[in-house]
């Protein structure tokens, strides 16, 4: 039997956010973060701490791996103040963007949706956010967003995030 065709989650994606509910439930309405720079979005896990106990002579007698972290990083290009207002770090005034802080004072829910129907994205109901604006001659104005995806509580049965399969419009 031939292998089934793989539906890839690569290529173009969209990312949307809303203020976190503080539960494992995603908010009912999320807002796009704007235009994402090509090939700038990365969702990756990092190893947690490793604990080990050694007996005399350096012999390891116990070992345990701690839960790591899960981070989404992306670059949004040429923001116009809409993103800053959404994140609570700034506002638009007379066509300009007044930035008050680089540290959002709230947690967010974040969703990554792939372009391809049948591919998996994620929904994370709780994440902290780093807002890092910048500018370069090559890229113009940009904002790097770093979401550190958190568990709502320490209960091992509480979901951390959900891998969500994209469905065709009108099918789900």
Rg (CA), the chain: 20
Residue 22: its pLDDT value, please?
Answer: 87
Q: What is the pLDDT of residues 18-64, one digit of tens each?
A: 999 988 899 999 999 999 999 899 999 888 888 889 999 989 899 88
Rounded Cα–Cα distance for residues 139 and 3 (Å):
41
**Domain ranges (residues) in the chain:** 13-165
DSSP 24: S
How do beta strands 31-32 and 50-55 pair? unpaired
Closest CA to 102 of 80, 82, 129: 129
What's the pTM?
0.85
Residue 135 burial by Cβ neighbours in a 10 Å radius (0-12, 13-18, 19+): exposed
Q: Which of 53-67, 95-109, 130-144 has the lowest mean pLDDT?
A: 53-67
């Amino acid at each position: 039997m031939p292998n089934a065709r793989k539906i890839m989650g690569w290529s173009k994606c969209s990312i949307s956010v809303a203020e976190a509910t503080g539960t494992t439930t995603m908010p009912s309405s999320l807002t796009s973060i704007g235009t994402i720079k090509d090939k700038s979005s990365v969702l990756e896990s990092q190893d947690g701490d490793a604990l080990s106990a050694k007996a005399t002579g350096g012999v390891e007698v116990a070992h345990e791996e701690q839960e790591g972290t899960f981070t989404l990083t992306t670059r949004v290009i040429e923001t116009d103040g809409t993103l800053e207002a959404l994140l609570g770090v700034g506002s638009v005034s007379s066509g300009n963007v007044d930035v008050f802080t680089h540290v959002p004072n709230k947690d967010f829910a974040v969703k990554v949706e792939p372009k391809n129907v049948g591919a998996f994205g994620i929904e994370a109901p709780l994440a902290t956010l780093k807002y890092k604006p910048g500018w370069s001659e090559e890229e113009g104005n940009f904002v790097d967003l770093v979401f550190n995806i958190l568990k709502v509580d320490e209960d091992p049965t509480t979901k951390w995030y959900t891998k969500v399969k994209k469905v065709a419009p009108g099918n789900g």
